Structure 1
Amino acid sequence: MTATGAGGVRPLRDVSRLPKAHLHLHFTGSMRHATLLELAERDQVVLPDSLVEDWPPQLSAADEKGWFRFQRLYDVARSVLRTPEDVRRLVLEAAEDDVRDGGRWLEIQVDPSGYAARFGGITAFTDLVLDCVRDASERTGLAMAVVVAANRTRHPLDARTLARLAAQYAGRGVVGFGLSNDERRGSTADFEGAFRIARQAGLLLVPHGGELRGPDHVRQCLDSLGAHRLGHGVRSVEDPALLERIVAAGVALEVCPTSNVSLGVYSDLTSVPLPQLLAAGATVALGADDPLLFGSRLAGQYATMRAAHDLDDATLARLAEMSFEASRAPSDVVAAAKRDIAAWLD
């Protein structure tokens, strides 16, 4: 409850009605748990108990074995996507879920190479995803775009191939280029060539960094890849000089609280250093990362941070505004969202 003075109290504003941009959502990780179970049953895919009775799974990526378990669950979930209709359903349901949570803009992140073998190659799969995004946007009213992401556990030449693919679709539904998977694997500097291709195409550069590794890796993402936004980036708080640099450069941080706790980066939600980031002046966009594995969607990130840090509604509204400022959403979408954020706060 929020106090209104001596005369009484006013209920907390509903965070699901606060307009938001969602900038950190992985493709398979956006799947509804019920959809996973239904598709698995259809094709007799045997799921591990942690994706059935014990869902959401107990995860930790504090060591390489922990990340392997996390990645295995993700790969099992991806294996239930067998047909174009499955892909269309996933994208539509992700859009519906974001709209239910107050979403106005979604940048969904996908590595086409992870689906290429089953869907006719990376170009054919990208075409399919973009068609599904257009369809879901029309049906739900949610404005949407795609971030193509390379896998840092694969060869950097594969990343260049994906960067060229993303560049071909720049301005046609693809707005960014990322680098995902275990940031402790591979050499970030080796992916500079791929990011140079994406930069020349005018794409937003959004590598993962600063979650499983600390400030040293954030610097590499800035220096070698020229990151405009950081997937996570939360551990930049450990180095005040680095955080000052991030703030001065206007590099946004895609902070995913439930992911941070589920993967063992922080022991609990009260330890996620959102207040420190905000106090330093950082641009922060809250994201759900992989709701299928972490059990919490977009509005849940706002609700948990409100509860963990006793955030007032003005701070939540500012977080929502920053999510649009850090996005590639069209100006009309941003303007309408900011008007409605102000109305939410009134």
Structure 2
Amino acid sequence: MPNTFRVAAVQAEPVWLDAQATVDKTIGLIEDAAAQGVALVAFPETWIPGYPAFLWLGSVFGQVPYVARYHANSPTTDGEHLAAVRDAARRTGVTVALGYSEKDHGTLYMAQTVIGPDGEILLHRRKLKPTHVERSLFGESDGSHLRVVDSPLGRIGALNCWEHLQPLVKYAMYAQHEQVHIAAWPAFGLAKGIAYALGAEANMAVTQTYALEGGCFVIAPTQVISERGVEAFVTTDEQRPFLTAGSGNSRIFGPDGTPLGEPLDEHAEGLVVADIDLSLIDLAKNAADPAGHYARTDATRLVHDDRPKPAVVRPGGSTGPHFPDLDEPDRDGAAV
């Protein structure tokens, strides 16, 4: 396992509500990353088929046409869209952390899949608790989706968006000795200048704090929304002030909270790139290891139930998402 390698956070606009076109753009960005010597590239939350901004803008009944299209353009774990991204990872030798809306029959999940340089799945997870109105479109996961896994690039974990505001969720990840963390975010154009908590400044602050608290490297990809993207969601003049173009804010942070790489303009598409050195984690944790020498287990402890909680249990059967060539069970007998 190398100590030093190059990572990249995507800052780009998806092809809104179009899975195939966004997959094509994904493959192009993976190829761009490979050309720059990147070993790990991370994509934003629900990159495919784009973050569903319509949830925040109109009435429930006004969202109906979007919901049907969103379902139709949400990839399955065993479908052609994931297969194409896995093939791109295999062909380029780049580890890919992909955010997407995962369709599992009648339910959608805010999923993250980390694909190794051989195209194999290293980690698949779903957002534990979708935020606010997101819960009208997406299902929840369980404690088995708070996982850090070994990879050729160290111990990798991932969370989506406001999971980074949940202290116990973060601690469950820190306690698994995470070295590289993917903090996936949407665009920050919703209620810009109106709701501070939804903006880039607040959310990048908690992302930087994650790096400092966890003593790990954090790669934070974000989406960009153009005027064309705004028009895809805004249907009335009353909605227009609540969705703003631009608002990309991708960042990379070191284990002491140091910003790494050169940020892009909020309207620009591309990659934020940085070289990282895992040996710096030891220096950071020498001062403060939250689940090690800096913990006080006599005073506070976290209970993390990491057992899968499927709706139906079939003895001897699989309870997890299906990947055609990945059927190795985890320690609980569920497919990874």
TM-score bracket, normalised by the shorter chain, equals 0.3 to 0.5
More strand by share: 2
Q: TM-score, normalised by structure 1?
A: 0.39
